[in-house]
A and B are shown apart, each in its own frame.
Chain A
């Protein structure tokens, strides 16, 4: 995979998603449930405004000093025995990973959920090179065996599938014969993947946050797969986006405290693993080699832009859960790996307006995302600014530019204006075809009266009926 998750044009994607009742019910339920849990978790914690202000200040501080902290992190991680590789783009990152696997003659890799590995398209490249890659997060595993279906949410990737679909896929692909009770489906997958965990040569993970002062990488999971991937295989590859740093453990406290609450409404996840270097000389388990691949892939361009603060993001998914547009079209409607308000703010600057300018129109500019973001990313403001740039500076939308130009010409010229307003009521005759068809499919056009106000006013004045 890469940033782009669908070959279909925007309108076709939206049409498909809007016509999918299973997805729409699932996403609406998920938003309501997870938003209520998050509200309850922060209400119990108290002082939400102070937490988010502090978390936001920490993330902003890291970005402002990112060169310093990356340098420090690399030095400390290397001192702890890790190999640190800086990858400028996706190709460099995947090539390095593949080289390690080739050197070790690895046949099988187990993987815990990681957005950045999706972004750089790691799985496909490894599979093409003959390495079996097993996604071990339950949701990701199901997507993988369901003919590489795409995630619809960054935290709960298979949100769009119901239990019956889980059962069908496991039955068709893995010979499952049981019912669709979630416990039973989960136990079945546990047994399947247990074998993979024990056989795999390499463990591949992302990194939720890295600690600069100690060279530590961290993984946050509930299922325990993050622990497995970093315990049994002899080689571990960690892929991390270059901005995913905190200065010290003190800041990790604040970030972890808001992350689990924001993502799933829990105080903390079941497991948080802190990994500093490969296993020690006294350790019997854990990886013998630890490789940390730090990925830029457009992030330095984002950082240098006016949208740099979007890199504060901690990937909790709260903005998606709060978004009314996401509610109806899910992550699939966006057609981008990072969907929802985060996707609209990040992707156009990460991967360009030419391919990803149009998606910014998905937003209704309600501003809810900016209110709930636990690190105060000005999401709505960024989306609005993208739209301004696309319309005013880049002038990318030919149709819109033409119409706006026409509109400007008409209201800027008194003769044209008079003619147009006299003719306006004829629009009622043909609104359901042509360019207005989409609008009128779900709405009524306002009725335009035959007589203009100024004509009516002038006529009444002549008769002397004014008070």
Chain B
């Protein structure tokens, strides 16, 4: 629903010297395209290495494994933090990984959107670790893109003290530019897309960086190759 638009926008049109909004905007000409040159021809390995170096520089705990080693890599992280665990309902996580974690820890839950808001929020709030899969990752800023809808609830990577984000190595791209291209191509957008570029942090007290404010205190990435 839209309220109050006509008068509001006509004031702007008048200020811009016309009676009504134009049918099409003027052409936007980019004076430069520097954003497209960054790591434009880098190999997957190079992008991965830069991603890892940048992630470690901002305090992310980075792990690597092959396709069969994801359960073991996750177990190693969760052994340190303890349970309960909450997993996104993602094919990469719900099969062997979930089974393996359930055997090792008494409480391992999978986000169940059908079970409703209260139940899922309560599980996420109780969990020590939340695990989700990234759509893609960005080398320049060590960023992961989370498409938060359906089985990948927003709370999974927000409420628990520890966050683990699983990344497929081949989805690591140069920079934000490629992520925005991807969003632009989506026919429908999920209600929530989150870019995560590090653990939550603040510098509000004397500009001293403190890791861990309202979001997760610790962030780990697992790169699956």
Contact = CB atoms under 8 A, between A and B. Distances in A.
Contacts, number: 291
Given A66-B16, A296-B8, A84 B3 contact: yes
A26 interface: yes
Contact of B183 (A182, A274, A303): A274
20 contacts: A26-B206, A47-B34, A51-B32, A57-B30, A159-B207, A161-B205, A163-B205, A182-B210, A187-B212, A223-B214, A224-B216, A227-B214, A230-B154, A270-B196, A271-B196, A274-B192, A276-B191, A278-B191, A280-B150, A283-B113
Contact of A253 (B35, B150, B210, B215): B35
Contacts of B14: 304
Contacts of A271: 194-197, 200, 215
Interface residues of A, number: 107
B200 A222 contact: yes
Nearest to A279: B191
A377 B52 CA distance: 36
Contacts of A254: 35
Given A163-B205, A303-B12, A280 B213 contact: no
Interface of A: 26, 29-30, 33-34, 46-47, 50-51, 53-54, 57-58, 61, 64-71, 74-75, 78, 80, 83-88, 92, 136-139, 142, 156-159, 161-163, 166, 182-183, 185-187, 189-190, 193-194, 197-198, 213-214, 216, 222-225, 227-228, 230-232, 242, 247-254, 256-257, 264, 267-280, 282-286, 294, 296, 300-301, 303-304, 308
B32 to A, nearest CB: 4
Given A57-B30, A284-B115, A294-B8, A268 B143 contact: yes
A67 B149 contact: no
Contacts of B115: 284
Contact of A267 (B180, B190, B197): B197
A247 B153 CA distance: 28
A88 B4 CA distance: 9
Given A137-B204, A186-B213, A223-B214, A253 B176 contact: yes
B140 interface: yes
Contacts of B130: none
Contacts of B207: 29-30, 33-34, 156, 159
A86 to B, nearest CB: 4
A284 B192 contact: no
B177 A231 contact: no
B80 interface: no
Given A53-B31, A280-B191, A163 B206 contact: yes
Interface hub of A198, A269, A279, A294 (most chain B Cβ within 10 A): A279
Contact of B13 (A67, A216, A296, A301): A67
B26 to A, nearest CB: 6
Interface stretch (B41-49, B91-99, B116-124): B116-124
Contacts of B40: none
Given A163-B208, A282-B113, 8 more contacts: A67-B9, A67-B12, A70-B8, A71-B9, A137-B204, A267-B141, A268-B141, A286-B192
B12 A242 contact: yes
